[in-house]
Amino acid sequence: MNNLHNHRPNAGSNSRRHFLKSSLAAIATPVIVPASALGRQDKTPPSDRITVGIIGCGKMAKDFHIPELLRFDDVQIVAVCDVDTTRRDHALQRVNESYAEKNLKRVCDAYNDYREIISRDDIDAVCIATPDHWHATPLIEACQAGKDVYCEKPLTLTIAEAKRCIDAARKYERVVQTGSQQRSNSMGSFREAVEIIRSGRLGKIRRVNVGVGAPSSPCDLPGEELEPGLDWNMWLGQAPLRPYNSILSPCGVHDHFPAWRSYQEYSGGGHTDMGAHHYDIAQWALQWDHSGPSQIVPPEDADATTGVRFIFPGGIEVIHGGRSGCEFHGENGWLYINRGVLESEPASIVAEPLGEDDVKLYHSPGHHRNWLDCIRSRETPVADVEYGARTVTIVHLGNLAYWHRRTFEWDPKNWVFGDAADNTLLDRERRDPWQLPEV
């Protein structure tokens, strides 16, 4: 697979496709491969492995992405990157020890700067698990370098970034999977709930309640002594220059989700965090993956951190608030879905099995596996870049309504506000040299 990237951006997409077809054909045809070409116990020769670089080695990479990718024999993690020396070295050691334990002749490298991973022609794909303000730029630049991408949710920090990510994936013909794992089969009964709703059991949908956290606030943390081994300037990136605080980047390897999510400079708060999951299910169920709300209305209470209303096609309202997860209300009853919970009123809406003529959706083999399979087939992944971009845009629009306490009109087809003066809110000022890449 790594031979695919011995070309520069925008060149070789046809040869890549030809190579993939040849690789699949070769896999389907039994061949005899010398043991020396495989490394002692490798089942997949180097030419057929998808080579991956990990960008960001915090909790999600440590507990989820790295162990998951290490499960697959046809994948090789060849590089890890983090601005924190301790986290970077921990990830490097883990990958190399895993391969050594399996007696595999595979070696991983480590970098401080993600651009060193993106510049390598022997890397097929990258997995981005950085703080939110560091999602869009590596994603776009990876696409430009001919690499496929898995990027954690929420996909971006701003609406302009969301649109630019779609543009990059489409222009450079990349497979980009958003880390919205609820669309896979490992996070509960979300697919089943979507099938029930699309099959019409609730009748006409009138409203959806999405129960997730509050929007973020400006960062007001005091300065602390800088952690040794941390490239703080690189951690900040496009965000305003400010003193280090361990709440934003905890010292070394940690087992909790850092609270940078609470601050506007780096994230949209709990609203974008779990909102990227649960608004995504509303989108999926109501087939809004290529659309969005036309109006966003803030709550009447000026201090409220829930209650924003999104007006969608057909007059359906999606309301921020309610119990955690998604609650769909239709003319025939309601359905509630969350991790580990699927219930309805009347109970028969959920209890009765779907019939032959009801909607049946793709049964994902798992979020990473779906991404990897699509890298080979060039098909659209279950959480395609546009789905992630549309979802995060909903939440960004809601946050803007909270922060400015006024109603916005939105044109989802053209990605602009109804009032042209509001288009300055599509993006925010960036610290040089981290301007949003052109596509």
pLDDT tens, 112-128? 999 999 999 999 999 99
**φ/ψ of residue 71, rounded to 5:** -70, -25
226 pLDDT more than 50: yes
Q: Does residue 11 surpass a pLDDT of 90?
A: no
CATH match of 190-215+270-426 with 3.30.360.10: yes
Over residues 143-171, mean pLDDT: 98
CA nearest to 53, candidates 88, 26, 29? 88
* pLDDT average, residue stretch 189-200: 96
Please say if the pLDDT value at position 34 is more than 70. no
| pLDDT at residue 313 in the model | 87
The average pLDDT across 47-68 equals: 97
CATH fold for the domain made of 2-183: Rossmann fold (3.40.50)
Instruction: Give one DSSP letter per residue of 126-186, joined into a string.
Output: EEE-S-GGGSHHHHHHHHHTT-EEEEPSS--SSHHHHHHHHHHHHHTT--EEE--GGGSSS
H-helix or E-strand spanning residue 55: strand 50-55
User: In this structure, are residues 367 and 388 in contact, taking their beta carbons and an 8 Å threshold?
Assistant: no
More confident residue, 32 or 426: 426
> Mean of the per-residue pLDDT values for the chain?
91
Closest CA to 147 of 167, 104, 191, 117: 117
Identical fold, 2-183 and 190-215+270-426: no
In whole angstroms, give the CA distance from residue 134 to residue 74: 28
Q: Is the peptide bond prior to 412 cis by the omega test (within 30 degrees of 0)? A: no
Task: Give which of 171, 174, 63, 179 is closest to 132, Cα–Cα.
Answer: 179
Supply the pLDDT for residue 1: 66
Q: Are strands 125-128 and 109-111 parallel, antiparallel or unpaired?
A: unpaired
Cis peptide before 45, with omega less than 30 degrees from 0?
Answer: no
DSSP strand E in 61-102: where?
75-81
pLDDT score for 30: 37
pLDDT for res 45:
87
Confidence label for 203 from pLDDT (cuts 50, 70 and 90): very high
Return the domain boundaries, the chain.
Answer: 2-183, 190-215+270-426
| DSSP-assigned beta bridge partners for residue 167 | none
Residues 367-405: tens digit of each pLDDT: 999 999 999 999 999 999 999 999 999 999 999 999 999
> For 297-335, how does the pLDDT look when each residue is reduced to its tens digit (9 = 90+)?
999 999 999 999 999 989 999 999 999 999 999 999 999
Report the distance separating Cα 230 and Cα 244, nearest Å. Answer: 10
Task: Give burial (CB, 10 Å; 0-12/13-18/19+) of 145.
Answer: buried
Are the C-beta atoms of 26 and 149 separated by less than 8 Å? no
Smallest Cα–Cα separation from 152: which of 70, 38, 273? 273
The tens digit of pLDDT for each residue in 71-93 reads: 999 999 999 999 999 999 999 99
Determine what percent of the chain is predicted with pLDDT higher than 70: 90
pLDDT at position 283 over 80: yes
pTM for the whole structure: 0.90
- Band (pLDDT 50/70/90 cuts) for residue 425 is very high
Q: Are 84 and 252 in contact (CB under 8 A)?
A: yes
Cα angle 405, 406, 409 (rounded to 5 degrees) comes to: 140
